[in-house]
Amino acid sequence: MSALTLTLKAEPRQRVDMRPLSAARELTPAEIAALKLWLGKRRRRVDELFTLEGDDTARLVLRGDCRKLDYIGRDARDLDITVEGNAGAYAGMGMRSGRLHVKGDADLFAACELRGGLVQIDGNAGNFLGAALPGDKRGMRGGIVLVKGDAGDRCGDQLRRGIILVEGNAGDYCGSRLIAGTIAVMGQVGKNPGYGLRRGTLLLWREPAVIPATYGDCGTHTLGFLPLWFAGLRHLDSRFADPANAFNRVHRYGGDLASVGRGEILVRAA
């Protein structure tokens, strides 16, 4: 069986809501072709927008310029989805298990409120990666998010559980209002990292330009759990899986003391 491949016939003029395709595993290719997607204020059949090939509905491949395709993989279970290019907003939102692989960039709120599985973005991710939706109090609650490029502002805002890995840079307020979980950034972070952090860990390869005044300097430590944590990432196609990038010596800052204050920013020690 070959993956069910959906190729856009033309770039849509308006945003397309891809939520119905999250149930693809339970449907036949013919049933998927007959699904109706919201295109702006209209509904269009899948086979009006896409050319369909293949028969394995547990594996989906999206081809073409997918920048206007929103909610790819929302609330999906046990689906393997590959986007051969850029993805729209809310990619992987609330996904419970399986894998979403975006080979280009992802728009804002990628992997927001994720519950499980793996979301891999080979390009850049927009603002609010793995965050909570406006008005909600809990962001990502499980799973792993891997970004090989850069992440925007508010990465991991209100993260509750899980791991976010960023090989590039992260924007302002990285780890803001973090409740628990881990965010690791190999590049530089912007202003106010760990703003309002309650618990959890912000693991950095580079010292931020300014450590917030509400963090206490706890000195330099050798942490025995870090090699084990890195070993748990060996299965990923990532620089985080390379033993040469692992370390156990860090400078620790405790905080945010303006919040609960039980979290930490760990910076790789020279």
What tens digit of pLDDT does each residue of 238-248 get?
A: 999 999 999 99
Domain shared by 58 and 133, yes or no:
no
What is the pLDDT averaged over residues 63-82?
96
Q: Indicate the residue among 68, 103, 124 that finishes a domain.
A: 68
What is the pLDDT averaged over residues 229-241?
96
Judge whether 109 and 136 are in contact, CB under 8 Å.
no
pLDDT bracket for residue 54 (50, 70, 90): very high
Cβ within 8 Å of residue 255, ≥6 positions away = 194, 197, 212, 214, 215, 216, 261, 263, 264, 265
Around Cβ 160, how many Cβ atoms within 10 Å? 22
Judge whether 163 and 155 are in contact, CB under 8 Å.
no
Domain shared by 37 and 123, yes or no:
no
pLDDT bracket for residue 210 (50, 70, 90): very high
- Statement: residue 197 has pLDDT above 80: yes
Domain shared by 238 and 105, yes or no:
yes
What percentage of the chain exceeds 90 in pLDDT? 96
Judge whether 177 and 197 are in contact, CB under 8 Å.
yes
Q: What residues form DSSP beta bridges with 260?
A: none
What is the pLDDT averaged over residues 210-230?
95
Domain shared by 48 and 114, yes or no:
no
Q: Please give the pLDDT value at position 1.
A: 76
Q: Please give the pLDDT value at position 108.
A: 97
Residue of 44, 108, 98 whose CA lies nearest to 76? 98
pLDDT bracket for residue 208 (50, 70, 90): very high
Judge whether 172 and 188 are in contact, CB under 8 Å.
no
Cβ within 8 Å of residue 20, ≥6 positions away = 35, 36, 37, 46
Q: Please give the pLDDT value at position 270.
A: 80
Q: Please give the pLDDT value at position 141.
A: 95
What is the pLDDT averaged over residues 128-132?
97
Domain shared by 126 and 161, yes or no:
yes
Domain shared by 220 and 98, yes or no:
yes
Domain shared by 134 and 201, yes or no:
yes
What is the pLDDT averaged over residues 204-224?
95
Domain shared by 213 and 188, yes or no:
yes
Domain membership of residue 15 as a residue range: 1-68
Domain shared by 45 and 107, yes or no:
no
What is the pLDDT averaged over residues 100-121?
97
Judge whether 110 and 119 are in contact, CB under 8 Å.
yes
The mean pLDDT of the chain is 96
Domain shared by 51 and 78, yes or no:
no
Number of domains in the chain: 2
Domain shared by 128 and 253, yes or no:
yes
- Statement: residue 256 has pLDDT above 80: yes
Q: Please give the pLDDT value at position 201.
A: 97
- Statement: residue 200 has pLDDT above 80: yes
